[in-house]
């Protein structure tokens, strides 16, 4: 398929690709430029085309971010999101690597049956779990508290599956040798399997980080005050309830997007690989 | 003999002890995951069923059996007839699919016959079922179907187009890949917040500026509950007839609301790049020899595309199609942000309808019944997909 092409065709292809990239990026530029406008500018001086000077603020209002961070409480929501995401990602790596090791390397009664049952839960849509889980969490007295936002997400069949695929390829001999040296399974998981599995562990971290950070429906249901509200919920309430404060909304959106984009750019190659290989869950 | 037994004893019990300890380690290792997934992933499915059989408004009320399901569908008779019609159509599609290639076979003829019967029955019965059942649910089903039809084919077509560009020898390939995936990874609440501005009803919003380029007056976009075909026809397709059947199908003919179409733009923006990346993966898995053989045979570019590329990509296409359709049944965050009360529910697919039944109206029991219907639909789609995949993978 790849053949010598006329330079014209090459140029047209490239131009179309650049156009596509431009469409992907414009909304982000809009987010940034409008977060730096005055409230009057967002109403009277607005455009959606970056080549139009009206797209940009006359004088960037950096103070918008201070207002969003403090008065609109995006600082608190941001902090909550960081805590929730850190706990969840840590928990998923912990529970998934233990289980994946057991399913890949240990023999115990009912192993394959249990694994199949866990996998089949992937077919259940989140909407089905929403109502019963809300009732369970309410019964446990967790509404508006941190466990409601983290505990239900600390284990994931999807990530167990992902890691097990990789762990199975690690030769059993390595573990046998360690066992002769008197190592327990926990030891060989920590000192043999995990060091060999940096790439899949990174994949688990990235995917669960994005999934948790972006989650809206569940935290919307289990938070009633700003105490543990994550940034997605804070932002959505700001949009559906507040008035015409476009500049603060956009500042909030930038704050919500920034961590994801930062991590994405740092580890872009692993990210694009991981997502093309497995896809996010939602 | 006794000596032998004695000598075997320690080894055997040692092995048994080791097996027992491996069993124990295994259970210990999986315990945290199994506990959490059982409590928050498996038990809830049965608990939903239990909830759906009760009158349940925040607190559990009395047991009401299938009353919630009756409210959904109104009449059990119509429901059974509609399911029969659907089964008839499914059987027909199966027969036609099996007979494909075998010209003039008997099963193809009976397949077409069954298809006509099934479609006619559906066309006549569905309106009565919709009238007897829950209006909100049937609207949300219609919205979900429109949303699938309006998003999945576009995602696939544009995704494949971009992928075929991206697959060529071009500079800075990774930069494009990174940028195309960007809309997919950011929180959709944040990006939808931008689209809420781009498709606002103000004359200077992006969508209205585009209309102005074509000399058209500004539109309501996200606030417009009227169907686009209805709007394009100059609002001449109004529902005036007295017939239940004509009324019902006219509501379909009016098309998805302009508000829903605005949301489709967001969906395209998010998923085209993702699909392009998956397709590039699929393209690179096609063996080069196939193209070389086609070249030797002197096949044209179009023939190569339709006879080699497209069939070889069919597993990817099936995967993305199912993912897209199921995605519309799960769609939540962006619609939650982009829905406006003025659009009067004409943008709410099933997942959103269920959420509001549960969260705003606090009708836990009824929402649970609705969610099980959604589960059933998604399950059927998944199983159909599995089947097709199985046949295709052997074939390809």
| Residues B336, A236: C-beta atoms closer than 8 Å | yes
Q: Under the phi-then-psi rule, with left for phi > 0, alpha for psi from -120 to 50, and beta for the rest, what region is B187?
A: beta
- CB-neighbour burial class of residue B236 (10 A; exposed 0-12, middle 13-18, buried 19+): exposed
Residue of A nearest to B339 (CA): A240
In the A/B pair of chains, how many CB contacts fall below 8 A? Answer: 288
Window A:15-44, CB contacts with B under 8 Å: 16-17, 20-21, 23-25, 27-28, 30-31, 34
Predicted confidence at residue A180, as pLDDT, reads: 87
- CB-neighbour burial class of residue B6 (10 A; exposed 0-12, middle 13-18, buried 19+): exposed
Q: d(Cα B349, Cα B354) in Å, to the nearest integer?
A: 9
**Cβ A52 vs Cβ A31: under 8 Å:** no
| Residues B190, A109: C-beta atoms closer than 8 Å | no
Q: Mutating which of A1, A7, A34 best tests the B interface, going by the most B Cβ atoms within 10 A?
A: A1
Predicted confidence at residue B11, as pLDDT, reads: 55
Determine contact: A102 vs chain B, CB below 8 A.
yes
**Where residue A52 falls among pLDDT bands split at 50, 70, 90?**
confident
Nearest to A75 by CA among A240, A197, A255: A255
Work out the average pLDDT over A62-87: 95
Determine contact: A224 vs chain B, CB below 8 A.
no
Alpha-carbon radius of gyration of chain B: 27
| Residue A55 Cα, gap to closest chain B Cα (Å) | 11
Predicted confidence at residue B5, as pLDDT, reads: 44
Give tens-digit pLDDT for B325-347. 988 988 999 999 999 988 888 99
Non-local (6+) Cβ contacts of B82 within 8 A are B122, B125, B126, B129
| Residues A232, B189: C-beta atoms closer than 8 Å | yes
Q: Mutating which of A16, A17, A100 best tests the B interface, going by the most B Cβ atoms within 10 A?
A: A17
HEC profile for chain A?
CCCCCCHHHHHHHHHHHHHHHHHHHHHHHHHHHHHCCCHHHHHHCCCCCCCCHHHCCCCCCCHHHHHHHHCCCHHHHHHHHHHHHHHHHHHHHHHHHHHHHHHHHCCCCCHHHHHHHHHHHHHCCHHHHHHHHHHHHHHCCCCCCHHHHHHHHCCCHHHHHHHHHHHCCCCHHHHHHHHHCCCCHHHHHHHHHHHHCHHHHHHHHHHHHHHHHHCCHHHHHHCCCHHHCCHHHHHHHHHHHCCCCHHHHHHHHHHHHHHHHHHHHHCHHHHHHHHHHHCCCC
A260 to A77, A212, A249, B301: CA distances (angstroms)? 15, 11, 18, 41
Statement: residue A164 has pLDDT above 50: yes
Work out the average pLDDT over A69-90: 96
- CB-neighbour burial class of residue B3 (10 A; exposed 0-12, middle 13-18, buried 19+): exposed
**Where residue A247 falls among pLDDT bands split at 50, 70, 90?**
very high
| Residue A29 Cα, gap to closest chain B Cα (Å) | 10
Predicted confidence at residue B241, as pLDDT, reads: 67
| Residue A2 Cα, gap to closest chain B Cα (Å) | 6
Q: d(Cα B389, Cα B381) in Å, to the nearest integer?
A: 12
| Tokens, residue B198 | 């781009």
Q: d(Cα A188, Cα A191) in Å, to the nearest integer?
A: 5
Supply the mean pLDDT for chain A: 90
| Residues B182, A28: C-beta atoms closer than 8 Å | yes
| Residues A30, B166: C-beta atoms closer than 8 Å | no
Q: d(Cα A96, Cα B30) in Å, to the nearest integer?
A: 8
Maximum Cα–Cα distance across chain B = 103
b (16+ CB within 10 A) / e for A214-227:
bbbbbbbbbbeeee
Predicted confidence at residue B7, as pLDDT, reads: 44
Residues on chain A touching B170 (C-beta within 8 angstroms)? 10, 13-14, 17
Nearest to A272 by CA among B134, B341, B276: B276
Predicted confidence at residue B108, as pLDDT, reads: 75
| Residues A214, B186: C-beta atoms closer than 8 Å | yes
Residues on chain B touching A222 (C-beta within 8 angstroms)? none
Maximum Cα–Cα distance across chain A = 76
Cα dihedral across residues B297, B302, B306, B309: positive or negative: positive
Predicted confidence at residue B12, as pLDDT, reads: 58
Predicted confidence at residue B1, as pLDDT, reads: 39
**Cβ B129 vs Cβ B78: under 8 Å:** yes
**Cβ B131 vs Cβ B79: under 8 Å:** no
**Cβ B46 vs Cβ A135: under 8 Å:** no
Statement: residue A127 has pLDDT above 90: yes
Residues on chain B touching A268 (C-beta within 8 angstroms)? 174, 178
**Cβ B345 vs Cβ B353: under 8 Å:** yes
Give tens-digit pLDDT for B27-58. 999 999 999 999 999 999 999 999 999 999 98
Residues on chain A touching B167 (C-beta within 8 angstroms)? 1-2
Question: Rounded to 5 degrees, what are φ and ψ at B257?
Answer: -65, 155
Positions of chain B with pLDDT under 50: 1-10, 394-396
Predicted confidence at residue B308, as pLDDT, reads: 87
Q: d(Cα A256, Cα B188) in Å, to the nearest integer?
A: 10
């Amino acid at each position: 398929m790849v053949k010598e092409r006329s330079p014209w065709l090459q140029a047209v292809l490239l131009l179309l690709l650049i156009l596509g990239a431009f469409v992907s990026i414009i909304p982000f530029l809009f987010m940034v430029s409008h977060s730096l406008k005055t409230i009057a500018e967002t109403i009277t001086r607005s455009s959606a085309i970056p080549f139009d000077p009206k797209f940009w603020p006359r004088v960037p209002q950096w103070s918008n971010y201070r207002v969003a961070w403090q008065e609109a409480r995006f600082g608190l929501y941001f902090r909550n999101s960081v805590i929730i995401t850190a706990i969840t990602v840590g928990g998923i790596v912990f529970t998934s690597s233990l289980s994946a090791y057991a399913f890949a390397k240990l023999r115990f009664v009912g192993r394959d049956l249990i694994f199949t049952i866990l996998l089949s839960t992937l077919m259940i849509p989140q909407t089905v779990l929403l109502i019963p889980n809300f009732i369970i969490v309410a019964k446990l007295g967790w509404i508006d508290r941190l466990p409601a936002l983290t505990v239900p997400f600390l284990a994931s069949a999807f990530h167990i599956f992902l890691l097990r695929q990789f762990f199975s390829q690690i030769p059993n001999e390595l573990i046998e040798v360690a066992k002769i040296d008197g190592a327990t399974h926990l030891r060989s998981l920590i000192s043999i399997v995990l060091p060999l599995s940096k790439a899949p562990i990174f994949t688990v971290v990235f995917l669960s980080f994005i999934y948790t950070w972006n989650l809206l429906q569940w935290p919307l249901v289990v938070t009633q005050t700003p105490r543990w509200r994550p940034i997605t919920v804070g932002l959505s309430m700001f949009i559906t309830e507040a008035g015409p404060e476009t500049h603060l909304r956009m500042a909030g959106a930038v704050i919500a997007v920034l961590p994801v984009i930062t991590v994405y750019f740092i580890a872009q190659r692993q990210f694009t690989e991981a997502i093309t290989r497995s896809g996010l869950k939602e | 003999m006794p000596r032998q037994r004695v000598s075997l004893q320690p080894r055997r019990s040692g092995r048994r002890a080791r097996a027992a300890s491996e069993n124990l380690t295994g259970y210990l290792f999986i315990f945290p995951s199994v506990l959490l997934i059982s409590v928050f992933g498996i038990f809830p499915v049965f608990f939903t069923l239990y909830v759906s059989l009760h009158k349940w408004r925040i607190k559990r009320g009395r047991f009401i059996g299938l009353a919630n399901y009756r409210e959904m569908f109104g009449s059990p008779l119509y429901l059974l007839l509609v399911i029969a019609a659907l089964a008839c159509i499914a059987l027909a599609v199966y027969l036609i699919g099996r007979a494909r290639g075998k010209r003039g076979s008997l099963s193809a003829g009976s397949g077409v016959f069954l298809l006509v019967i099934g479609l006619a029955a559906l066309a006549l019965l569905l309106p009565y079922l919709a009238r007897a059942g829950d209006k909100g649910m049937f609207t949300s089903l219609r919205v979900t179907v429109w949303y699938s039809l309006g998003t999945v084919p576009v995602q696939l077509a544009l995704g494949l187009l971009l992928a075929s560009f991206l697959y060529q020898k071009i500079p800075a390939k990774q930069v494009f890949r990174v940028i195309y995936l960007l809309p997919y990874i950011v929180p959709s609440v944040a990006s939808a917040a931008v689209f809420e501005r781009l498709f606002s009803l103000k004359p200077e919003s992006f969508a209205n500026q585009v209309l102005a380029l074509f000399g058209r007056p500004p539109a309501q976009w996200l606030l417009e509950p009227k169907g686009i075909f209805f709007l394009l026809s100059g609002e001449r397709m109004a529902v005036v007839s007295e017939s239940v059947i004509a009324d019902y199908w006219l509501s379909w003919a009016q098309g998805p609301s302009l508000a829903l179409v605005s949301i489709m733009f967001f969906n395209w923006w998010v998923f085209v790049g993702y699909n392009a990346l998956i397709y590039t993966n699929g393209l690179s898995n096609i063996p080069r020899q196939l193209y070389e053989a086609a070249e030797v045979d002197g096949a044209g570019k179009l023939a190569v595309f339709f006879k080699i590329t497209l069939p070889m990509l069919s597993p990817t296409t099936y995967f993305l199609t199912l993912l897209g359709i199921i995605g519309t049944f799960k769609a939540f965050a962006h619609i939650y942000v982009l829905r406006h009360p003025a659009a009067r529910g004409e943008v709410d697919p099933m997942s959103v309808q269920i959420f509001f039944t549960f969260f705003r109206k606090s009708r836990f029991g009824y929402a649970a019944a609705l969610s099980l219907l959604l589960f059933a639909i998604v399950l059927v789609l998944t199983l159909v997909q599995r089947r097709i995949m199985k046949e295709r993978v052997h074939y390809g």
